[in-house]
Structure 1
Amino acid sequence: MDISKVDLFLMMNAKYFESHHLPFIREHLIRLDDSAWQSIQILQFYDPSSTQVVSLVGGQMGIDRFMVGDVGLGVLKLLTCGGMGIWAIIDWFMIQGIVREKNGIKLKEALASMSKSLPNPDTNEQE
């Protein structure tokens, strides 16, 4: 893929990922074929800032965990009123990192599925 497209993608979406994921993402995006660019562009990521606000407002009810797909933890947090408030306070500081990690996992899975569907140029098929 074109390096300028990859750099533009990283510049526009860097806030959605942990900083230690960015070199891995850049390396794998460069290796992808241009036909996969459209699939990468339509991926939706969780916004860490909006999840932080939801955690501050509805953290005791587990809404922040439901937003990021942690249904089991969301139910547990709801039933315990945010761990009697302690878990809710801890999530105020940790939820942005959790969201960025989940976004990184989502993109890694998408990249892995796209690279499997593409033919491997290193293998020579002889019939």
Structure 2
Amino acid sequence: MEADKVDKFLLANESKFPEYEIPIHRLLNFTPEQELILETTRFKRPGRILLVSIFFGTLGIDRFLTGDIVKGIIKLLTGGGLGIWWLADWFMITRVAKRKNMEKLNQIINI
């Protein structure tokens, strides 16, 4: 991957990943196949996940969107952990979304 493409990727997606964890040196060594996969991969927007958490967090939809199906079911059945988990997720869910995005990026890197 060319340096210009890496810069464009970082500008467009830096808010979707944990700070200082994007392995830029590994992105520079991408094969054309990895580049194609990266360009077509959709990463979750932490801000949108936070809004879903605020409005529909008691139903566990935020956890379903981040891929935490079991936690989503538990949150759904307990009414957001009796409201406590729902409130706690307002502060945690963006980190969860960024971590899931980083896991997805690491899968592409390791192909």
Q: TM-score range by the shorter chain?
A: over 0.9
- The offset of 1:37, in angstroms, is 1.8
**Moved >2 Å (runs of 4+):** 33-36
Matches within 5 A, 1:1-127: 1-22=1-22, 24=23, 26-113=24-111
Indicate the RMSD between aligned Cα atoms, in angstroms. Answer: 1.0
Q: Within 2, Cα distance between the matches of 1:86 and 1:36?
A: 41
For the residues of structure 2 that align with 1:33 and 1:66, how far apart are their CA atoms?
32
Which runs of 5 or more structure 2 residues have no equivalent in the other structure?
Answer: none
Structure 1 spans left out of the alignment, 5+ residues: 114-127
Provide the C-alpha distance between the structure 1 equivalents of 2:80 and 2:71, rounded to a whole number of angstroms: 10
CA distance in structure 2 between the partners assigned to 1:91 and 1:36 by the alignment: 33
Q: Give the Å deviation of 1:79.
A: 0.8
**Count of matched residue positions in the alignment of Structure 1 and Structure 2:** 111
Between the aligned partners of 2:96 and 2:34, the Cα distance in structure 1 is 27
Q: TM-score, normalised by structure 1?
A: 0.83
Q: TM-score, normalised by structure 2?
A: 0.95
Which fold has the larger relative contact order, with Cα–Cα distance below 8 Å and residues 6 or more apart in sequence? 2
* Aligned sequence identity (%): 36
- Rg (Cα) greater in structure: 1
